[in-house]
Amino acid sequence: MSQSATLVKTLRCNLMITNKARKGIQEWSTDEHAFFNIQSSFEVHIEKRPVNNHGNTSLSIYFDNVANNKLAEKMDNRVVVMECILQKDGLLATGLYVRGPKVPVRTNRRLPVNLTFVTAKNNGAGMPLALHTKIQELPVAEERSEYVKKRISSWEGYLKIQERNADIADITSPYSKLIFNADFSRMSLQGCTMNANEWKNLRGLSVTLKGFQNDVGDILKSDRAKQTIEIEIKPKYRELARKNQWNPKSKEAVFSNFASLSQIRRLRKGFEDLQNGLAANPNLEKILFEDRPTIRVNAKRKELEFHNQLNEFQQEAVIGAMSAEDLYVIQGPPGTGKTTVISEICQQNAKAGLRTLVASQSNLAVDNALSRLLSNKEIRILRFGRTESIEEEGKRFIEENVGQYWKEQTLSALQKELDEHSLREGQLLKQIAGCKLQIEELSKEQILLKKAIEHKAEAKVEYELGIEEIKKLKKALVLLKKDHEELESRLYEVRVKSEALAHEVNTMEQFLVSNPTKQELVTEIDSLMVEIKGIQNHLVYKDTIASLQQTETNVETYREKYQTVLTKLNHLETLKTDIDSIKKIDQLKSTMKEYGIELSSQLQQQMAELDELIDKIKAFNDWQDLNSRLHAAIDYVEKLLLKYKFPVENVKNNMGRSGILFDTEYTVKEIHQFMNRMKHIMTGDDELTTEKLAILLEGLYVREKFVIKQKSMIQLVKNSSITKFQTIKSQVLSDSNREFISLQHLQTDIANKTINEKKQLEFLQKTVNELKTEIDTTNLLLIHSDLRGRKSEIEVSLAKLKKTKETVISYMEQLEMKKNHFQQLTKELEGKQAILQDNDQKIKQVNADGLEQERKLKALDEIILQNPEHAFDKVGETIKETKEEIVKLQLEKDRLPITQTVQKDWHSLLKDANDHDLDEIRKLYVRHANVIGTTCVASARKEFMENYPVFDVVIIDEVSKATPPELLLPMLKGKKVILVGDHHQLPPLVGEDTLDETLQAILEESENLEEKDELKKLLKESLFERLFKNLPKTSKTMLAIQYRMHESIMQTITPFYEEENYRLQCGLVDSDSARDHLLESRYVNRKDHLLWIDMPNQKPYFEERMKDGKSRFNQAELDTIRDVLIDLNEATAIAKKEGRMNPDERKSIGVISFYGEQVKRIDRLIQQQVNLTHLTFRTGTVDKFQGMEMDVILLSMVRNNQEKSGDIGFANDYRRLNVALSRARELLVLVGSSDMFTKRAKQKTSREMYGRLLQIVKDKNGWTNFQGARKK
């Protein structure tokens, strides 16, 4: 719980006092000067608080009530707390008060420092810079406490589970008699009376007797039939019983769940301690709650000498654990030697003078871990816990037995010494003579080593000279190689130039020989120039003739266009004149069509609208006829109603108010249909009444009204059509005017273009007449393309001739000059080659000299690399140690009579030691115990906390089987914590279910959203898994070599560890031999190590459910297991008979299942139905078998049905399967339906998991039917 940043030396600090603080001081002293002079300096612990309203750093200074003796005496051991403000020139005390003696002073959030408080004015002490810096580095304690409180609240779910199971009411019972055992460790209550349910709930409850304030012990077992209860008595009450001070007031006992409730209180106390900064390691809260905690890593790894024989992974785990500062995590798959690693770490800690706590969730795991340490004399083991829960190998180390154990061990060692007394003097003389002989041999070796040292010194001098020579040779070689590279480069350049020049000269000469002379080329070029000029004139003439013809065509085209425009202008003029006389739209359309006048889109739209209006007008006649028919009908109905004296005027006046609904719009056809129906009613309805006629008349009136409305609308349409027609004519006239103006512009443009074309025509005719005089008219018949082709050919030939002419002239000018240059290069090339050859010879010589020097240096280096000095010193040390050993042996020889006398006396004293002597030995042993073992929860018991508040190292085994609150209790005590576990095995058990399954059940029942979120977080990932995944490689390792099981069995669990850094390996060199089960039978062959006895997926092999609906069993599997056990028993008897097994040896068999009910029936089968004398048994659920191992394991899988759900329940969890498969050493037998697990299982991951397992079994030829026959 100490701050890592401790200031060791005493510091002087200026202290200013406020009136409030002075008032607090004066309650205990006259003034501040007297108070702070009680001691010259004070051990204090400074806590940083939140910044106050003025922005100043607030502090609480706790005065240590243990270290400050004088102050503690004055304050009656109470704790003084001084509130301060941190200032640049010192501390300002703002208050001082006193708290109880048990208030925590040392926390990992406070800075321990030894301070001298200077209270005089102008004292010059100020604020030490080192202290100010350390205070600023402190965390704000309240903030850290709130952070931890918030994060640890997520662990409340674990406590809720325990509280759920601890809710049992107290049970009270009278008893008739109380009997103690011989050593008063147990007592038996007889004659107890309770109801059946109370008897069931007794196991594990605490016992309180009337007359005693606290519980006196815990119930071990009860027998309802005999009415007896056996109780483990607590040590305090054992002493009372021994001294005959056991005086209960009445014969009445109260049984309560006090132990479970106490455990929950301890767990909550762990939460509070972490929250209040009471962890021994200040980094613990970060380790527990940060996703990727920062772990302090020791840069230098420990170099260790191991006590046990360890493989590479175990060595890595031990070195990593010993090198770690805060935390180290070790994942230990089944059978990988976790206990060996824990044992080695404990021994290394003991060697380093460290105290170690070995804790686990179960007592069995603690005792297994400690069992490997028995032979080490440096280790003093102390086992803490309830005696009845501790295994036999651990009981010798409980506090009450350690004195006797140490006495027996020491007596045994002394007796061995005493037995050797008569031989000891001769042994010592022999050892002394041996030492002297060794010194003589070592002295001779020293002379040889001295010569070797001299030879090495000479070799070093010679080596240095050789190095210098090699440097010179290397320097010369560098220069020669540089010259060589430059020569080669220059030689290459000259050679390239020479070759290029020779090629050029050759090319030029060949070109001049193969081509005409300069004069011949000039003549040929002139001839081609004349020919090309003639062709050019022909081409121009032909192009001009073609242009002339095209121009004549253009003139004619423009004339025709002009005439067309003129015609359109005349038509438009006529339309403008005649449009007023046009009275109908059809006439307007035909006139425009006749004149070829196109309608605009706007005009087309308006004409379409006018056509619609005209169609409506045409429909007027239909409405007119309909109106006449309506008048006739109305007249007829009115007369008919009047005949019957019906008030017709009422029908007309009430129209629309009669309650009868009529349509608002009608077509002509609909009104005619109505009148036809009315006619039919009036002629065919014998029950026609005046009321019906009134309704029909109202219908006629409504429709008449609509027809009248239509007539008025048609008149509006007529008016609209006249307006629309006038608008169209206006639009036509407007469009015609615009078109007329546009055509006039076009007429002018065409006239201008015609004039220009006629001028071009005159020019072309003139050009043609001129060209006729210059060309040969006989060639005019040649087509245009031929002339152009000929012209192109001549131009190509002309270009080639000109280029050839230029090249000939150029080559004639260069040729002689290049020949002279070539001769010069040839001479230079010969000179450079000679120099290069000389350079090569020099390089070869330098290389040869260098190789010779390096050969000499290598020989010298071998001499220099030898370490005769170290060997000389080592021999000197050995001589010195041997001489010291001689002195020691001589002294022992001289003292031998005294030593032997003392040993005899010590043996006698120990042998006759009484209870008081043993008690003193016990006290000494307990005080100096360096390896203490207990369970996680027991580590928080009051007596343990008081005696062992802090450990140098805390090792927690089987971490995965403990909940985080349980793990927290021992972790709080460790300056360094080592976690050992395997997150691929089952989590903690709560009753018959795993923690995950219990959490899931609570989650389904809970209606509180916050609680659900909290529980989901707990289900997501275990603490161990999160740490192992997120810690750096330097802070974790996996033990990857297993020694428990045959390699074939191991292969069934390797898939569960494939994501780790190392693949699981078998550490057995020859597992066939090491794990030979030696059995041959109907079911099992000698070579078999992995079997799956396949049960059919059909009746009568199906599972059965218990009446309470929770657990299940499978009778068919029970029958098969009985047959297999009988078979194995007979096979073991045969193995003994044939000498493969010892006559008294028995094969250990574990029979396990996923279901508790199946296990109960297996127990009954073994105890009542079979007599298997050659086998020993252990049964249990898979969950409770975790941590155990047997020669042979039979796994009853139970689930077998054809239900659509395909649920396999507990067997879905891969961790449960991992545990089940990894318990066997020699032979693993699975009994169950492969179809059920590999094909019918609901979850795909489960089908794949069991499918992979089945394939491994098949690969080993271990798949059989329930009669033992092999399947393919």
Task: Identify the three-state secondary structure at position 872.
Answer: helix
DSSP string, 1015-1078: HHHHHH--HHHHHHHHS-GGGEEE--EE-SS-HHHHTTTGGGGTTSSS--EE--TTHHHHT---
Predicted confidence at residue 1078, as pLDDT, reads 95
pLDDT of residue 659: 53
pLDDT, mean of residues 1047-1056 = 95
pLDDT in tens, 914-956: 888 888 888 888 888 999 999 888 888 888 888 888 999 999 9
> Bridge-partner residues for 116, per DSSP?
12
Identify the CATH assignment for 169-256 out of 2.40.10, 2.60.200, 1.10.10, 3.30.420: 2.40.10
Q: Which of 716, 518, 728 is nearest to 606 (CA)?
A: 728
8 A C-beta contact, residue 1089 and residue 1228: yes
Quick one: which of 576, 610, 572 has its CA closest to 594? Answer: 572
pLDDT at position 2 is: 47
Contact (Cβ atoms closer than 8 angstroms) between residue 845 and residue 839: no
Tokens read off for 768: 């043609």
DSSP 579-600: GGG--SHHHHHHHHHHTTPPPP
At residue 621, the pLDDT reads 60
Distance CA 1034, CA 1027 (A): 13
Q: If you average pLDDT over every residue of the chain, what do you get?
A: 84
> CA–CA separation, 497 vs 586, rounded Å?
99
* Number of Cβ within a 10 Å radius of residue 1056: 21
| Both structure tokens of 532 | 């090309």
Kindly state the average pLDDT of the residues 136-162. 84
| Superfamily classification of domain 277-421+915-986 | P-loop containing nucleotide triphosphate hydrolases (3.40.50.300)
Q: Six-digit token pair at 53?
A: 């309203």
Closest CA to 263 of 361, 383, 356, 149: 361
- pLDDT-derived band at 1068 (thresholds 50, 70, 90) equals very high
Tell me how far apart the alpha carbons of residues 408 and 7 are, in angstroms, rounded to a whole number.
47
Round to whole Å and give the CA distance between 225 and 222: 9
CB 287 within 8 A of CB 295: yes
Q: What is the pLDDT of residues 831-862, one digit of tens each?
A: 878 887 888 888 888 888 888 888 888 888 88
Distance between CA atoms of residues 623 and 579, nearest Å: 34
Going from the C-alpha of 1192 to that of each of 112, 280, 366, 1044, the distances in angstroms are 58, 45, 25, 12
Instruction: Judge whether 1042 and 1065 are in contact, CB under 8 Å.
Output: yes
Q: Please say if the pLDDT value at position 1144 is more than 70.
A: yes
Rounded to 5°, the CA angle 815-817-821 comes to 115
Q: Could you give the percent of the chain with pLDDT greater than 90?
A: 35
Average pLDDT over residues 814-830: 79
Q: What is the pLDDT of residues 378-403, one digit of tens each?
A: 788 888 877 666 766 677 788 888 88
* Count of H-run helices and E-run strands, the chain: 39, 32
Going by DSSP bridges, is the β-strand pair 79-87/58-63 parallel, antiparallel, or unpaired?
antiparallel
Whole-number Å distance between alpha carbons of 711 and 1217: 96
1014, pLDDT greater than 70: no
Is the pLDDT assigned to residue 68 strictly greater than 70? yes
Would 169-256 and 277-421+915-986 be classified into the same CATH topology?
no
Residue whose tokens read 């219908």: 699
Q: How many residues does the chain have?
A: 1272
Encode pLDDT of 393-438 as tens digits.
677 788 888 888 888 888 888 888 788 777 888 888 899 999 999 9
pLDDT higher at 248 or 711: 248
Strands 217-223 and 206-209: antiparallel
Q: Please report the DSSP string for 1039-1056 in residue order.
A: --EE-SS-HHHHTTTGGG
Confidence of residue 330 (pLDDT cuts 50, 70, 90): very high
**Residues 657-667, mean pLDDT to the nearest whole number:** 62
Kindly state which CATH superfamily the domain 1041-1265 is placed in: P-loop containing nucleotide triphosphate hydrolases (3.40.50.300)
State the residue for tokens 């008893």. Answer: 175
More confident call, 413 vs 1010? 413
Query: CA 806, CA 813: separation in Å to the nearest integer?
Result: 11
Residue 473: both structure tokens together: 């040779």
- Give the DSSP letter string of 242-300: HTT----SSSEEEEE-HHHHHHHHHHHHHHHHHHTT--SSTTHHHHHH-SS----B-SS
The answer to whether the CB of 434 falls within 8 A of the CB of 821 is: no
Check pLDDT > 60 for residue 778. no
Which pLDDT does position 1018 carry in this prediction? 55
Backbone angles phi, psi at 1199, to 5 degrees: -65, 125
* 1221 Ramachandran zone, left/alpha/beta (phi>0; psi -120 to 50): alpha
pLDDT at 7 over 60: no
Amino acid symbol at 33 = H
Q: Which residues pair with 231 in a beta bridge?
A: 187, 219
Residues 548-582 have pLDDT tens digits of 788 788 888 888 887 877 877 777 777 777 777 77
777 pLDDT more than 60: no
- Residue 792 tokens read as 């192109």
- Greater confidence (608 vs 679) lies with 679
CB-based contacts of 747, cutoff 8 Å, min separation 6? 562, 565, 566, 569
Q: What is the dihedral of CA 813, 815, 816, 821, to 10 degrees?
A: 120
CA dist 782 → 228, 775, 777, 1021, 1032 (Å): 144, 13, 10, 101, 97
Task: Report yes or no: 314 and 894 within 8 Å, Cβ to Cβ.
Answer: no
User: What does DSSP say about strands 79-87 and 90-99: parallel, antiparallel, or unpaired?
Assistant: antiparallel
Token readout for 240 is 């009372």
Average pLDDT over residues 47-66: 93
> DSSP 3-state helix, strand, coil percentages of the chain (rounded to 5)?
60, 15, 25
pLDDT of amino acid 1002: 58
């935390």: which residue's tokens? 327
Give the rounded percent of residues in the chain with a pLDDT score beyond 70.
Answer: 89
φ, ψ dihedrals at 115, nearest 5°: -120, 140
Model confidence at 1197, pLDDT cuts 50, 70, 90, reads very high
Asked if 906 contacts 418 with a C-beta cutoff of 8 angstroms, the reply is no
- Residue 4's pLDDT is 43
Query: What is the Cα–Cα distance from 831 to 826, expressed in whole angstroms?
Result: 9
Q: What are the residue ranges spanned by the domains of the chain?
A: 7-139, 169-256, 277-421+915-986, 581-748, 1041-1265
The enclosing H or E element of 897 equals helix 896-911
Alpha-carbon distance of 674 to 680, in angstroms, equals 10
pLDDT of residue 5: 46
> What is the average per-residue pLDDT within 1054-1063?
82
Scan for tokens 């009845």, then name that residue. Answer: 388
